[in-house]
Structure 1
Amino acid sequence: MRLAFILSEIASGLRRNLSMVVSVVLVTFVSLTFVGSAALLQMQINQMKGFWYDRVQVAVFLCGEDYGSATCAEGAVTGEQRDGIREMLGSDAVKPYVDSFEYESQDQALAHFREQFRNSPIVDTVTADQLPESFRVKLVDPEKYEIINELFSSMKGVDVVVDQRELLEKIFSMMNIASLVAVGIAAVMIVCAILLVATTIRLSAFSRRRETGIMRLVGASKLVIQLPFVLEGVIAAVLGAVLAAGALWAVAQFLIEGRLSREYPGTAFISTGDVLLLAPALVALGALLAGVSSALTLRRYLKV
């Protein structure tokens, strides 16, 4: 009987304040879409960093068959050349600049490629012989890259020396800025959503002040009186969160997986699975914000 009463009160409140409820849904939808976008952008940044970003600063790529550089004119790197490069990396002359290094074979390069580009449609078309061997070098001081470049770029068996961190930092810094902008917009929109929920609940409580007064006189508990108001805000916010999750899923499905991953097969993109992992958090966040806002508003405007 009590459950039926609470449900009827919720339905009545939603009908009476339909325009405000729709506003709450829309504002929550927009704000949580920005929150979700910022979270997905960070996932994208972390995925693009991949296996080596935080550990490798310089890659010394070795020659393969039919490489065009002058140092690869004799063909693929030989075992003697490979050992000479390894010996140079461990020598006393280079040791002050090199913190550590590791050799990556073609099979290891393929395994790392498949890990990093697992969501790309080309992941199964690349074979080990298409990827170069390399030495992945961590420098004591990243600013000393030019010294390593001068020492190794002219060695036989070395195709090219690449400062991978420098190439990536510009991209990731731009993406981090975009993520911060999304977080900032999301914070403003969340404040708007909280204020709108509070206003909606206050109007709902005011329009039903006669009913709540009667309920006080007949001895209804505080929970029974306040719960319908709180659930009205929570329901509206959850609907907005579900819409936000749906919009993010559609973007991942049709824009990222359906278009970008095909147009840029060499880039590792997030997938709809990442959105599905994020969706419960968005729903929980929407419900939490609405619940807390409603409860605080009722404490002030609905004395029981």
Structure 2
Amino acid sequence: MRLQFILSEIGVGLRRNLSMAVSVVLVTFISLTFVGSAALLQLQINQMKDEWYDKVEVSIFLCPQTSDTATCASGEASQEQIDTIDSELNGDALAPYVEEVFFETKDQAFASFQERYSGEWWAQGVTADQMQASFRVALVDPQQYEVIHDYFTGRQGVEEVRDQRQVIEPIILVLNRATLLSVGLAAVMLLAAVLLITTTIRLSALSRRRETGIMRLVGASNLFIQLPFMLEGAIAATIGAAMAVGGLWFGVRYLVQDWLATSVTWVPYIGTDAVWMIAPALVAVAIVLAAISSLVSLSRYTKV
């Protein structure tokens, strides 16, 4: 009997404030979409770090025929300098840091250059002699790239020591800032959701002050009086959360996996399983929003 009464009160409240309930659903949907987007973006960043950082190499570019670098004043790196660097990279001193060493000759560098830029007009005049040999060093721990950098920087015959993290880090930085922007927008939208749910519950409570007064007179408890209002907000917020999960799934499935993954193939993308991973958290946030809004409103507006 009590359950039937509570359900009927929820139905009455939703019908009386249908437009406000729809507004709660929409603002919850938008706010949780921003929250979910920020979470998915952070998962994407973590996946990219895990994928790329394990493959980070330090490149030791040897002096070409013409270079303005002080360490290349004597011209192109000699075979003796190359052999010295090779022996040091494979020596005992750097063994704890170096996992694998690959030497790329000028001819190999030219072949790679032609493969990458064969269709560019400006690449037609480049010859193998203009290329520079280099060592590619895979590290045991990519975080310790500075050991190799400091060891060979300034060495005669070495033009530059470059860490591939210098290419990756700007991308990660941009994505991290995009995550912060999403978090900021999500916070604003969550605040708007709390205010709107609070207003909806307040209006619902005011429109039924006569009914709540009668219930109070016949001895109904505070929880029994307030529960229908709380459930109204929770239902609307949960519907908004479900819509947010659906929107995020659609975005990952069709925009990321079917579009981006075929256009930009060098990025390891997250899948729809990431959406299901954060879905419980989004629903929990929706319930918390409704709970906070209920506590703010009902303590005052259900008193007779």
Task: Give TM-score scaled by structure 1 length.
Answer: 0.73
The secondary structure found in structure 2 opposite 1:265 is coil
Q: Please name the residue that 1:269 is paired with.
A: 269
Please point out which of 103, 110, 125 is paired with 2:99: 103
Q: Please name the residue that 1:187 is paired with.
A: 187
Please tell me whether the aligned partners of residues 201 and 297 of structure 1 are also in contact (alpha carbons under 8 angstroms). yes
Please point out which of 84, 87, 90 is paired with 2:91: 87
1:145 corresponds to 2:149: yes
- Write out per-residue CA displacement over residues 204-235 of structure 1, whole angstroms, 9 at most, x where no aligned residue: 00000010011011111111100000000010
Question: After the TM superposition, which residues 16-165 of structure 1 pair with which residues of structure 2 at under 5 Å, given as runs?
Answer: 16-50=16-50, 53=53, 58-60=57-59, 85-87=89-91, 90=94, 100-104=96-100, 134-136=137-139, 142=146, 145=149, 148=152, 151=155, 162-165=162-165
The change in CA–CA distance for 1:150 and 1:252 in structure 2 (over 3 A counts) is: farther
How far did 1:147 drift?
5.5
Structure label with greater radius of gyration: 2
- Write out per-residue CA displacement over residues 166-206 of structure 1, whole angstroms, 9 at most, x where no aligned residue: 11111111111111111101101100000000000000000
Please tell me whether the aligned partners of residues 261 and 267 of structure 1 are also in contact (alpha carbons under 8 angstroms). yes
Question: After the TM superposition, which residues 283-294 of structure 1 pair with which residues of structure 2 at under 5 Å, given as runs?
Answer: 283-294=283-294
Q: Please name the residue that 1:227 is paired with.
A: 227
Q: Please name the residue that 1:243 is paired with.
A: 243
Amino acid at match of 2:58: A
Tell me, which stretches of 5 or more residues in structure 2 are unaligned?
Answer: 61-75, 78-83, 103-134
Question: After the TM superposition, which residues 178-217 of structure 1 pair with which residues of structure 2 at under 5 Å, given as runs?
Answer: 178-217=178-217
Please tell me whether the aligned partners of residues 55 and 138 of structure 2 are also in contact (alpha carbons under 8 angstroms). no
The secondary structure found in structure 2 opposite 1:268 is coil
How far did 1:302 drift?
1.5
Amino acid at match of 2:171: I
How far did 1:148 drift?
2.9
Amino acid at match of 1:101: Y
How far did 1:59 drift?
2.6
Q: Please name the residue that 1:117 is paired with.
A: none
- Write out per-residue CA displacement over residues 124-170 of structure 1, whole angstroms, 9 at most, x where no aligned residue: xxxxxxxx984316576849837636659869xxxx96412211111
The secondary structure found in structure 2 opposite 1:59 is strand
Q: Please name the residue that 2:121 is paired with.
A: none
Please tell me whether the aligned partners of residues 242 and 283 of structure 1 are also in contact (alpha carbons under 8 angstroms). yes
The secondary structure found in structure 2 opposite 1:219 is coil
Please tell me whether the aligned partners of residues 30 and 189 of structure 1 are also in contact (alpha carbons under 8 angstroms). yes
The secondary structure found in structure 2 opposite 1:198 is helix
The change in CA–CA distance for 1:86 and 1:105 in structure 2 (over 3 A counts) is: closer
Separation of aligned partners in 1, 2:196 and 2:11: 19
Please tell me whether the aligned partners of residues 42 and 179 of structure 2 are also in contact (alpha carbons under 8 angstroms). yes
The change in CA–CA distance for 1:206 and 1:139 in structure 2 (over 3 A counts) is: closer
Please tell me whether the aligned partners of residues 35 and 182 of structure 1 are also in contact (alpha carbons under 8 angstroms). yes
Please tell me whether the aligned partners of residues 58 and 148 of structure 2 are also in contact (alpha carbons under 8 angstroms). no
Amino acid at match of 2:7: L
The change in CA–CA distance for 1:270 and 1:242 in structure 2 (over 3 A counts) is: same
Separation of aligned partners in 1, 2:285 and 2:154: 53
Separation of aligned partners in 2, 1:224 and 1:210: 15
CA RMSD after TM alignment: 3.5
Amino acid at match of 1:85: L
Amino acid at match of 2:300: R
Task: Give TM-score scaled by structure 2 length.
Answer: 0.73
Q: Please name the residue that 1:65 is paired with.
A: none
